[in-house]
Amino acid sequence: MNTLNQDSIVVGVDVHKYSHTAVAMNAWGKERGKLDFSNNDLNKYTEWLLGFGRKDDIVIGLEDVNCYGLHMVAKLQQEDFHIRYVPAILTERERKTSTKRHKSDEVDARRVGKVILTKYEETLPARESIADQGELDTARSLTLLFMERRNLTRDKTIVKNQLHCLLHQQYTESYRANCPRSFSKKAIRWFLDDLRDNETILGKSIKRRFDRLLFVENQICAISKEIGAIGQTSKMALSLSEIHGCGMLTACSIVSEVITAKRFKNKHHFSMYAGVAPTPRSSGRKNKMHTNPFGNRELNRSLHTVALCQIAIKGDPKGKAYYQRKLAEGKTKLWALRCLKHQIAKVVYQKMRYA
């Protein structure tokens, strides 16, 4: 189903850990039914859906199924239902523009359905509906690994900030004189050797944090290797890694977020999803372009990494030439970088489409 019609039944679902709430409505937004169910009652849920008519006329809207709704999506995919994903920002806007801003599972499910009815073109078909099983398995594995890696990176930053404070207490600001790069392998060995016989509370606290930092760094390294190994088996990741500035980690990050290019109508739709396409804001004679603050931020970050690598000293000549041309046109450095990200997004889409 590419569009809604007068016979369409839209079902919004609010997903939770122990129970889900579904609200069905017709094409005019009139409620047709409500059901509370859990992952143990999925057969009951699919029977309830089929009670509204033909399967081809039923559209199921889901806001977020990264964790708690995976079993439900698998069941719907098995039964060949049409599923669409609703960005959380759209349901939040629906709540803010409503005269009734109260919150409950039923109300949230109804809002998800109303987003499908009013902003169908801004939602995406569920990746489970159109991606190959191999693509899904690869993307799911990469998503789990990247989720763990981001958590470890956040923990690493916290430990480093704590160590800066404790090292300043132990050595004053001169601790950087001996070790300018305070957390390199060489610097850590120096600090641990210097504090080996230090049995004060401060000394032991510093040593424990250095041990924790080394443990986290080793885990990050192991996960990065595992991601790279998965990337070597993915045609899409290998194709993306051919882009200048797109390493295997960045390529795998893009694959985990996009999964398949078949979800997007064209390269412009993909750019909007990534949040790199400028949005027009015109009124009368004024015609201005503004940055799109929405879109997939993880995908946006990956494209930003590629753009920075391309304009570096040893970057891509074509990317640097394009960037300099935009600067010569009078654009700021940040806006010129955004233009480059937009061009990179088009190349990424083409690479994923024909991989």
Full DSSP string of 197-266: T--SHHHHHHHHHHHHHHHHHHHHHHHHHHHHHHHHT-HHHHHHTTSTT--HHHHHHHHHHH--GGGSSS
Domain boundaries, position 344: 248-353
Structure confidence at residue 69 (pLDDT) = 83
Is residue 2 a part of any domain in this protein? Answer: no
Is residue 283 a part of any domain in this protein? Answer: yes
CATH code where residue 49 lies:
3.30.420.10
Is residue 108 a part of any domain in this protein? Answer: yes
Q: Are residues 285 and 195 in the same domain?
A: no
* Mean pLDDT rounded to a whole number for the chain: 90
- Average pLDDT score over residue span 235-249: 94
Structure confidence at residue 277 (pLDDT) = 87
Most confident region among 84-93, 185-194, 285-294 by mean pLDDT: 185-194
DSSP E strand stretches across the chain: 9-15, 20-26, 31-37, 58-62, 82-85, 124-125, 279-283, 286-290
Per-residue pLDDT band at 92 (split at 50, 70, 90): confident
Is residue 240 a part of any domain in this protein? Answer: no
Q: Is the per-residue pLDDT at 52 higher than 80?
A: yes
Instruction: Report the range of poorest mean pLDDT among 51-60, 63-72, 147-156, 260-269.
Output: 63-72
Cα separations (Å) of 190 from 179, 183, 207, 317? 8, 10, 11, 41
**Torsion of the alpha carbons at 123, 127, 129 and 133, rounded to the nearest 10:** 180
Number of domains in the chain: 3
Per-residue pLDDT band at 301 (split at 50, 70, 90): very high
- Average pLDDT score over residue span 51-69: 85
Q: Are residues 214 and 142 in the same domain?
A: yes
Structure confidence at residue 65 (pLDDT) = 62
Q: Are residues 277 and 341 in the same domain?
A: yes
Is residue 32 a part of any domain in this protein? Answer: yes
Q: Which of 130, 149, 166 is the last residue of a domain?
A: 130
Q: Which of 203, 233, 263 is the last residue of a domain?
A: 233
Structure confidence at residue 327 (pLDDT) = 95
Per-residue pLDDT band at 135 (split at 50, 70, 90): confident
Is residue 324 a part of any domain in this protein? Answer: yes
- Average pLDDT score over residue span 310-334: 93
Grouping H, G, I as helix, E, B as strand and the rest as coil, residue 149 is: helix
